[in-house]
């Protein structure tokens, strides 16, 4: 029987004056390109350029105004206060419906995780109502709540409630058993348990639900305003679009649509991205 021998190598000792490359600074271009915001801005600039090119080539402002005309109109209408006023009218109703929808979704999901019959209830009603387009309820809502914000809020709640409840509930269900046991180990139960363990652990899914709910609500609202427009003398963005189409002021129609898009982009990339960066990305639960 022989013995194993250890042969020492000097590779691990860095030679003086020749340090091994462990870290390298990235170049400016590479750094910029790594920023999601820069990449997305580049895509938007490209799309705007395509729009401008097609509009100029078509040369028919009644069918397809150029990007330049649209932006000028948007700027004018913003300066004279029309667009901000209309956008605010829309957003006000949206916040009411979105808020009410989230509160209801919270109540439903808390019921669903605390009792088995609650789970069955949530799963059944979500399966029933989630596929139903919110806008299909509008005629009914008009009969029930009249021509006003009540009807709008009703359809908004319908469009927010189900996706938020569904995502939150599936998020709660996928919280790992270990984390549940950890929470109970400290004597947490009931609402503190939900608030301290389940909600943060399922935050990624909840945020997804909130994003989907937001998008559903926004598009439902604009569509609903297009259908019946004015309520209490002050229409929203949907009505602004409808009104200007009737006046054949197509650049203004485009300006209205662009405003809808811009608000959507701001909420998605500004608000939701910031929340994501400060929570699920920082915690490493979502990349």
Partner 1 sequence: MAALLDVNGVTLRYKTSSVVVTATEKVSFSVDRSDRFVLLGPSGCGKSTLLKAVGGYLKPSEGRMRIQGREISEPGADRMMIFQEFDQLLPWKTVLENVMFPLLMTRRLPRKEAGQRARAYLEKVGLTRVVDSYPHTLSGGMKQRVAIARGMAMEPDILLMDEPFAALDALTRRTCQDELLQLWEETKFTVLFVTHSIAEAIKIGNRILLLSPHPGRVKAEIVDVDRVSGDDGSAGRLEQQIHDLLFADRATAH
Minimum CB separation from partner 1 for residue 202, in Å?
Answer: 11
Minimum CB separation from partner 1 for residue 89, in Å?
Answer: 37
Q: Give the other-Cβ count within 10 Å of 110's Cβ.
A: 18
Query: Which of 203, 211, 207 lies closest to 179, judged by CA?
Result: 203
Gap between the Cα atoms of 146 and 154, Å rounded: 11
Minimum CB separation from partner 1 for residue 188, in Å?
Answer: 6
Is 141 in contact with 253 (CB distance < 8 Å)?
Answer: no
What are the DSSP calls for 119-168, one per residue?
HHHHHHHHHHHTTS-GGGGHHHHHHHH-SSHHHHHHHHHHHHHHHHHHHH
Compare residues 57 and 283 and give the one whose CB is closer to partner 1: 283
DSSP state of 270: I
* Interacting residue with partner 1 among 42, 186, 195, 271 (CB under 8 A): 186
**Does 184 sit near partner 1 (CB under 8 A)?**
yes
List binders of partner 1 among 188-247 (CB under 8 A): 188, 192, 196-197, 200-201, 203
**Does 182 sit near partner 1 (CB under 8 A)?**
yes
**Does 119 sit near partner 1 (CB under 8 A)?**
no
**Tokens 């957003």, located at residue:** 91
Instruction: Tell me the window of 99-107, 118-126, 183-191, 265-273 that interacts with partner 1 (CB under 8 A).
Output: 183-191
The contact set with partner 1 (CB under 8 A) reads 176, 178-179, 181-182, 184-188, 192, 196-197, 200-201, 203, 279, 282-285
């Amino acid at each position: 029987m022989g013995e194993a021998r250890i042969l020492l190598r000097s590779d691990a000792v860095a030679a003086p004056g020749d340090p091994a490359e462990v870290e390298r600074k990235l170049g400016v271009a590479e750094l910029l390109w790594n920023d999601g915001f820069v990449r997305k801005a580049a895509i938007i600039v490209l799309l705007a350029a395509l729009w401008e090119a097609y509009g100029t080539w078509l040369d028919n402002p009644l069918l397809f105004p150029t990007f330049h005309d649209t932006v000028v109109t948007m700027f004018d209408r913003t300066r004279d206060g029309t667009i901000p006023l209309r956008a605010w009218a829309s957003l006000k109703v949206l916040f009411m419906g979105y808020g009410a929808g989230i509160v209801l979704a919270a109540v439903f999901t808390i019921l669903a995780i605390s009792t088995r019959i609650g789970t069955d209830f949530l799963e059944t009603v979500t399966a029933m109502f989630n596929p139903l387009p919110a806008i299909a309820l509008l005629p009914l809502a008009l009969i029930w709540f009249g021509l006003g914000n009540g009807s709008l809020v009703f359809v908004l709640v319908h469009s927010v409630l189900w996706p938020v409840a569904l995502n939150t509930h599936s998020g709660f269900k996928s919280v790992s058993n270990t984390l549940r046991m950890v929470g109970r180990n400290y004597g947490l139960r009931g609402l503190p348990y939900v608030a301290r363990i389940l909600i943060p652990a399922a935050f990624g899914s909840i945020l997804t639900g909130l994003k989907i709910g937001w998008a559903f609500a926004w598009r439902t609202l604009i569509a609903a305003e297009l259908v019946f427009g004015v309520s209490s003398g002050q229409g929203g963005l949907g009505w602004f679009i409808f009104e200007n189409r009737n006046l054949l002021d197509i650049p203004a129609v485009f300006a209205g649509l662009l405003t809808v898009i811009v608000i959507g982009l701001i909420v998605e990339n500004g608000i939701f991205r910031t929340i994501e960066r400060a929570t699920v990305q920082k915690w490493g639960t979502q990349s």
